[in-house]
Structure 1
Amino acid sequence: MGIYDKLDNLKTIIKNQKSAVVAFSGGVDSTFLLKVSAEVLGTGVVAVTAHSSTYPERELKEAIEFAENNGIKHRVITSEELEVEGFSDNPVNRCYLCKNELYEKIKAVADEEGMECIFEGSNVDDLGDFRPGMQAVREHGVVSPLREAGLTKEEIRALSREMGLKTWDKQAFACLSSRFPYGEKITRERLRMIDLAEQFLLDLGFRQVRVRFHKDIARIEVTRESFEKIIEPEIREKIYTEFKKIGFMYTALDLKGYRAGSMNEGLSQADKA
């Protein structure tokens, strides 16, 4: 099926739902989904963004601006994962605990707004990684239009570019809790350290970054194309000095480079079951 056939299929899936609340993070996928949903359903769409200590302020600001600029009704709710029992212990099913609480709160918004269903923005590429949060999607009856339409990340970026969406080449983003090895305690202070460290790298001009938390060690992931820049003496010294101020004793560069879900690499099949 071609990319435009998939787009037509997406519009049909959305239209069949009549009205929806869109779980809107401001990332590539949810921005594209929200834009198409608003075009198809008009005022039958409400965007909902959850604000918490795992969600950087820069992402919230971008989500608010997009909704305002496109005339889409937007609700910002508080969904503090650290208050969910067991979440801060960072178990393997952490994402399920988060999404379960999130969709309960979004369902309440949908009921208040008189919307028939909830949309979330996963695509077919997401099926290849360990994503326990998808269990919550199923349990709450959340609709995944991009996945149902068969759209890949690359296709979503291409269509977003054609539609003039600034997010078409936005770096991939995942909640800050994904920066911790499973079993490592997640705290507000540690989340703040990760947020500050990643923002510093972004301010230096690196586009796709992850700072993984290993107690006193910050493990930096950037694209391999950025390796030459990050090891330049001046840049390297700036990063080391700033990360020391943030609270990291040591700073390391991951030689494999950026990849999504690197904290899942040590999981066995039994862990994922």
Structure 2
Amino acid sequence: MATPASTTTLHDAAPSALHPKLDRLMDHIRGLGSIGLGFSGGVDSTFLAAVCARCACERTTLFHLDTPFAGTPEAEAFERSLDMIGLPVVRIPLDPLDDERVARNEHERCYHCKLLGFRAIVRAAAERGIDAVLEGSNADDIEETRPGTRALRELGVRAPLRELGWRKAEERAVLRAWEFANWDLPAGACLATRVACGEPLTRAALDIVRACEDELHALGCQQVRLRLHAGSSHVAASERDLERLRATGCPSGVDGGVDLAPGLLARLRSLGAPGLEARVRPYRYGA
């Protein structure tokens, strides 16, 4: 594992306009005592971990939930980031499907899942005498659309990026300057979000989603989803990924939309996508 970043070069190549904001964040982190950080490998937790490595490296431990809800890009980003961050990691195996309140996939699923995961992190941190548990929510995150935020508040988990007004675009700019490969990793909601609310979550459904999305990622797509609903499924993709699909031979419809090429449609159906529509729908956040 790499040596944590030197505290004598805290800013490195970070954009100069963000230096004062970085100073405030680092001062805030220094005042928290020993730190346990919930670390997924996404942009938010990677940025916060990288900052901790620069100002509190001897007092910070990362806690990672090994869960079937993580998509392949997020899992790969987690592994890639570890050496650059250089902080100790505690891996906690967790299967949220063991909790029937999560498996039922009702409106409060995210709350129960976040409560389950961070309760495990808080417990593991307490066993190690850690003073503060942190997570990576930022100022762009709206609590009304993220029920898990309530669980974090109930557990006393701190969100310094949100508290100090950090935006995702600012985090990306710093990570890019610090040469983290995942600086432009698209938002990657957990795989449970691909199954319509009210329909039970199963390991089989998650495996289908992961396999199909991996197939699409192999074509160069980044912001792409396989969504399951009432025995059918469809692919949703960002505008950029719609163009990528066209470039791989997916035909355009008369309305300007994109249809999955016959071969790709057949491959995704063979991976288990139920009643898969040929038409690719535009990706919409939270939909």
Identity of aligned residues (%): 32
Please identify which structure carries the higher helix content: 1
Q: Does 1:76 align with 2:97?
A: no
Paired residues of 1:10 and 1:148 also in contact (CA < 8 A): no
Paired residues of 1:54 and 1:191 also in contact (CA < 8 A): yes
1:119 aligns with 134
Q: Does 1:108 align with 2:123?
A: yes
Shift in Å, 1:57: 5.0
Q: How many residues align?
A: 260
Give the CA RMSD over aligned residues. 1.9
Q: Identify the match of residue 99 of structure 1 among 95, 103, 114.
A: 114
Q: Identify the match of residue 243 of structure 1 among 243, 259, 268.
A: 268
2:202 aligns with 187
Shift in Å, 1:229: 3.5
Determine the C-alpha separation between the residues in 1 that align with 2:243 and 2:88: 44
Determine the C-alpha separation between the residues in 2 that align with 1:208 and 1:49: 23
The change in CA–CA distance for 1:237 and 1:110 in structure 2 (over 3 A counts) is same
Paired residues of 2:224 and 2:241 also in contact (CA < 8 A): no
Paired residues of 1:208 and 1:222 also in contact (CA < 8 A): yes
Q: Identify the match of residue 170 of structure 1 among 167, 185, 193.
A: 185
Determine the C-alpha separation between the residues in 1 that align with 2:128 and 2:80: 21
Query: Deviation digits for residues 40-71 of structure 1, max 9, x if unmatched?
Result: 11121111110112123553343234224432
SS at match of 2:37: strand
Paired residues of 1:38 and 1:44 also in contact (CA < 8 A): no
State the one-letter code of the partner of 1:90: N
SS at match of 1:124: coil
Determine the C-alpha separation between the residues in 2 that align with 1:236 and 1:229: 12
Determine the C-alpha separation between the residues in 2 that align with 1:94 and 1:139: 16
TM-score with structure 1 setting the length: 0.89
| Bigger Cα Rg | 2
The change in CA–CA distance for 1:253 and 1:120 in structure 2 (over 3 A counts) is farther
State the one-letter code of the partner of 2:87: I
Q: How does 1:1-273 map to 2 (within 5 A)?
A: 3-57=18-72, 59-127=74-142, 130-231=145-246, 232-233=249-250, 236-248=261-273, 249-255=275-281, 257-262=282-287
Determine the C-alpha separation between the residues in 2 that align with 1:110 and 1:25: 16
Provide structure 1 residue ranges, at least 5 long, that are not aligned to the other structure: 263-273
TM-score with structure 2 setting the length: 0.85
Provide structure 2 residue ranges, at least 5 long, that are not aligned to the other structure: 1-16, 252-259
State the one-letter code of the partner of 2:284: R
Determine the C-alpha separation between the residues in 2 that align with 1:252 and 1:137: 40
SS at match of 1:118: strand
State the one-letter code of the partner of 1:241: A
Paired residues of 1:216 and 1:250 also in contact (CA < 8 A): no
Paired residues of 1:218 and 1:252 also in contact (CA < 8 A): no
